[in-house]
Structure 1
Amino acid sequence: MLDILSGVEYIHSKRFIHRDLKPTNIMFGLDGKVKIGDFGLVAFKDADQLERSPNKGTESYMAPEQKSELTYNGKVDIFSLGLIIFELVWKISTNHERGLMWGNVRAQKLPQEFIHSYWEEFQIIKPMLSEKPEDRPGASQVKAHLEEHTHRLDILEIRTRGSRSV
């Protein structure tokens, strides 16, 4: 997740919006590093919001404003990333199951079992799925929150295993 966020952070730092982030556009290179691909819908942002073509991208991963608005910004990528992170953490067994829950997930209504089992991840994902783009964090903010969470998990694992050396 951190590698994906680093990639999106880099894309945004170069003033681009990917506009079609989805699992099939995230790959591993031969070096084992995460690669973000398919820049066919990339847009250059030279202002906070520019007029864009509506309904460009993969519908199930599009931010609400990307489906209907003529102006949007890089926060559309954050919405997509929220969905991707959810999928990385929560097992969805079938397309049918995904179809039943996806609308709720897009509306920040994640399964109660997810919230109970993955409270920290829920705290990261929920604002990413805000309907209003201005309520979504930037890629750098999400990355910082995730790094903090990862650090806490590392400390917890060390405490759980003890300080045994090999």
Structure 2
Amino acid sequence: MQKKKKYSYAFKKAAVEAAKSSKASIHALARAYGIHESMLRRWIDGYEAFGPSALACVSHQHRYSESIKTAAVAAFLTQDLSLREVCLTFSLRSTSVLRGWINRALANYPQQSDELNDFPPMASSQSSRVPASEYERVVEENKRLQAEVAYLKKLRALIQAQKKGKKP
């Protein structure tokens, strides 16, 4: 496993400022700086949302309160926000942190509610067999996605019902 490369504050700031002032594409600038364009986009988004402090190097893991975790997962599940939008809204450092919280919430939720027992569990990312044709692959993916969408709709409805029940 390759060690994660860390970039200095000055390097990040130079890349972001070049992106903001240059007419070159993000792809071209990222290539010129030797980084992936998604990383440059994250730096730009963070800089625009939180200013230069978003580019500071962090040498420790950030800990989030349970209320932040719950609110971020609920916002993702109940609103039409992308992972990046939720991260920017709640000042989360990366989408992978949020993805982990969502996966844990989805894995634990059926154990807490009997209402989801009649619902199929979300399909795993690895298929048990390899389809013989492209058509079969697409049909299997479609079925998996339909089950996932149905699961998320049911989960969203349960969360909204719980919110209504808690409010006087």
- Identify the TM-score tier after normalising by the shorter chain: under 0.3
Name the TM-score, length of structure 1 as normaliser.
0.27
Larger Rg: 2
Which structure is richer in relative contact order (CA contacts within 8 A, separation 6 or more)? 1
Q: Name the structure where helix makes up a greater proportion of residues.
A: 2
